[in-house]
Structure 1
Amino acid sequence: MCQHQPPCPTAESADRESARRVAHHPEQGWSLLCNGVLLFEDTGELLPDGRVIAPHRPLDTGQVTTAA
């Protein structure tokens, strides 16, 4: 599917999220990558073969809270 040089990572690669976007719909919360992966704003993914990758955003946001 990818026509870029060098080619983007495949949908099976660990770094699949670094493929280029071919469609981006932030108002709907998703992007289509050139390797066929649907990437959702919650970091979940739908792979071209139908497999689902659960959201995997970091749990620690690095924010410091203070007592009031």
Structure 2
Amino acid sequence: PGRVYCVPRMKQGTYPSPEWSEGFAWYEMAGGFITSCPENFDRISSRDLKRELSRLSIGGLDIARDS
């Protein structure tokens, strides 16, 4: 309450999405990931997610850095 969080990222649709993703909207940028395909769920790794998040980086901002 009383706070606004801005997530720097490339505009949705301006970058190619991996075949297992419908794209990265605000939910995915905040750390939530949903897939309706069990095969994709079984093969996606944290490395895959981190790589795709890093592709959305703007101006050298590292949105997928290790915390």
Structure (1/2) with the larger strand percentage? 1
Structure number with greater CO (CA < 8 Å, separation at least 6) is 2
Range class of TM-score, shorter chain? under 0.3
Q: TM-score, normalised by structure 1?
A: 0.26
Q: TM-score, normalised by structure 2?
A: 0.26
Structure (1/2) with the larger helix percentage? 2
